[in-house]
Structure 1
Amino acid sequence: MSQPTLEYSTKSKEAKQIVDDHVADFFYENGIPLNAINSRSWEIMFESIGQYGPGYRSPSYHEIRNPLLDRAVNKIEELRKKHEDAWKEYGCTIMSDGWTDTSHRHLINFLANSPAGTFFLGSVDASSEIANASMLADLLEKQINKVGNEYVVQIVTNNGSNYKAAGRILMERIPTLFWTPCVAHYLDLMMEDIGKIPEFSSCINSAKKVCRFLYKYGRILDLMREKIGGDLVRPAITRFATSYLTLVSMLKNKQGLRSLFMSEEWHSNSLSKSVEGRQAENIILSILFWTKVEYCIKATQPLLIAMRIADGDETSAAPKIMAAMDAAKKTIKETLRDKSSLLNDVMECYDKRWENQMEQKLYGAALFLNPGKYFAIKEKDR
């Protein structure tokens, strides 16, 4: 956002309050979702109105219904043309993303990704369809034909058995096409598997108990924030990644958390005598808990790095993901070398999800064509 101007800084609080009330009334009276205020287009709109200055009048109903809508459509068509040029020059990936909305409709979004970025192709309501492999293959093929099958290098879907079968069908229909399962989804499943290892499962469950307790009571939450200078829970792109990032945050704030549960403020609070409170205190003051946290982080931190690469929007992940997973495997083996039994359990999860299902030829080709990563791995393997 732009810096406040001198004129802005001289406005009274009362004047600002009046404007805020009008903005809020607009949302309430028209039933506009409140999270619209967090959108980038909202910021741009307000900045442009401010830069225009006094005297700006909003578009009329007719203007926003016809000429402005036409202009918006033209801008999208121009944007698509830019993407189409990139598809023809570099090829592209078709991605599908299924989800269920608040009306319980099963929707599937289709997007095309290329060096020009990601472009939304369309959405299909598949609620009345049986999501079998044949139906999914037909839906994906329609999107491929829209783009031009000579320009589509691969399709990326989730890892359900129906999508796997659809991928095989499409590769038979279009011999030049690759089907690739979603890496971020596979990594999430891998971390879910790792989280089920008994030593890690008990650690994660204990951490969840502590977090639930700390965030359940306002007084304790305020005390925690005072001790560690912020929050513990760190939302991530997937549910299981969130659990591990929370463990990282807890370890980083270990001293602050221990200080909280040893403080006079805590012991003078009635919650310190409750069952929940005593459980949380015992967990945080347990040496064994922190040892397990450290090992859990050692087993998953390299995978979180790979997940950030896989889920990044800025650059293509394909040239980097093989190198990232190779590095993750080596790092995990190195950091858990003194815990052979635990290492075997983690590597079993790794091989189950990655070695057996995600070793894609396309990733190998992308790595080979990325000399900086490829020769670094070759050098390490000597």
Structure 2
Amino acid sequence: MLLSITKNAYCQEAFKLLRPSYYLPSTHYVSKPLLESEYEHVMQFVQGKISEALCLAVVTDGWTNVRGERIINFVITTSQPVFYRSIETGENRHTAEHIGSKVCEALQKIGSGKVFALLTENASNMKAAWEIIMDKYPHITAIGYASHGINLLLNDIMRLDTLQKIYRRAKKVIKHVKATHIVATVFEKKQEEKNAKNKIVTLKLCSKTRWGEVMISCESLLKNEEALQETVITEDLKIPRNVRNTVLDKDVFWVQLQNSLKILKPISSPITASESDSALLSEISYQKAQIKSTAFEYLSVSLQVQKKEK
């Protein structure tokens, strides 16, 4: 984006008006000397944070970038998280041996003596890499991401038929409203009639890999119940029958949606908390205990009721 700005005639003219004596740097100057200088400045800051810290934890994760290249990222937690480096794996697969060797190389450059913990995702190849790393560095403890583990738990719970059916119905409503221009316009007007501008909540869909957002999605639907009901009964709007029936189903759908949140909220909240920069490892046990005492108890009661009804 910055490189295209330096070539843009309108931007050049704007800078001339602001300060005639100023000349935008060339594309080469921005992409080479300036970028390299900034990189050196940032790395000096990161190295300073590492040097100052008495102990460190290394966070690593494998992913695929927009070009389809496999990447391993390293973040170091000092007094604050700092991005350390990103490496391409090239033709190498993300096997335990390859990941283990790359993590060990990074630990050696960082200074393994200061590192007390390694945090990774909970995939089987990562867990196998733990053994390789801890064999070489016995003082380092490998730990799986708490947020990833709780996310997987929520993913398993969302496989229950009852929750699947409720969320499928909820998604159809949200998708239709957001994807249909006329319906979205009418819905926005109904929102304004029902709420003050600063209290309007937009309808939200969760991504496939972030089940913690299911709660946000369901809550956004509940907070717009009346606006949605008035929207679907508006004349001349061609609302699909299944969407209209869902929105007007006060006795089943909306009640089930509220009950679902009693299960989802105690699990979704710890995901959000554990993903923040201020999250503490010591809080995880408490969060798990809260999930067990609230969501699981309500879930077990709900399953017993369903069995009796059958």
After TM superposition, the score normalised by the length of structure 2 is 0.82
Question: 2:46, 2:84 within 8 Å by CA — same for their partners in 1?
Answer: no
Report the equivalent of 1:208. 171
In the alignment, does 2:198 pair up with 1:249? Answer: no
SS at match of 1:83: helix
Report the equivalent of 2:66. 102
Match of 1:268 among 229, 236, 241: 236
Q: What amino acid sits opposite 1:268 in the alignment?
A: D
In the alignment, does 2:310 pair up with 1:324? Answer: no
Cα distance in 1 for residues equivalent to 2:73 and 2:296: 39
In the alignment, does 2:28 pair up with 1:57? Answer: no
Match of 1:225 among 170, 188, 191: 188
Question: 2:207, 2:213 within 8 Å by CA — same for their partners in 1?
Answer: yes
SS at match of 2:212: helix
Cα distance in 2 for residues equivalent to 1:65 and 1:100: 24
Question: 5+ unaligned residues in a row in structure 1: which ranges?
Answer: 1-22, 31-45, 345-382
- Alignment RMSD, CA only? 3.1
Question: 2:267, 2:291 within 8 Å by CA — same for their partners in 1?
Answer: yes
Q: What amino acid sits opposite 1:267 in the alignment?
A: E
Distance 1:65 1:257, change over 3 A: closer
Report the equivalent of 1:84. 50
Cα distance in 2 for residues equivalent to 1:98 and 1:343: 41
Superposition deviation, residue 132 in structure 1: 1.5
SS at match of 1:239: coil
Question: 1:111, 1:118 within 8 Å by CA — same for their partners in 2?
Answer: yes
Identity %: 20
After TM superposition, the score normalised by the length of structure 1 is 0.68
Question: 2:119, 2:144 within 8 Å by CA — same for their partners in 1?
Answer: yes
Aligned residue-pair number: 290
Question: 5+ unaligned residues in a row in structure 2: which ranges?
Answer: 9-13, 192-199
Match of 1:189 among 142, 146, 152: 152
Q: What amino acid sits opposite 1:186 in the alignment?
A: G
Report the equivalent of 2:211. 240
Deviations 1:322-381 (A, max 9, x none): 22222232222565575253799xxxxxxxxxxxxxxxxxxxxxxxxxxxxxxxxxxxxx
Distance 1:148 1:193, change over 3 A: same
Q: What amino acid sits opposite 2:217 in the alignment?
A: T
Distance 1:282 1:69, change over 3 A: closer
In the alignment, does 2:83 pair up with 1:114? Answer: no
Question: 1:309, 1:321 within 8 Å by CA — same for their partners in 2?
Answer: no
Cα distance in 2 for residues equivalent to 1:194 and 1:138: 36
Distance 1:342 1:171, change over 3 A: farther
Distance 1:190 1:28, change over 3 A: farther
Deviations 1:251-272 (A, max 9, x none): 122222222223xxx2322x13
SS at match of 2:113: coil
Distance 1:330 1:56, change over 3 A: farther
Superposition deviation, residue 77 in structure 1: 3.7
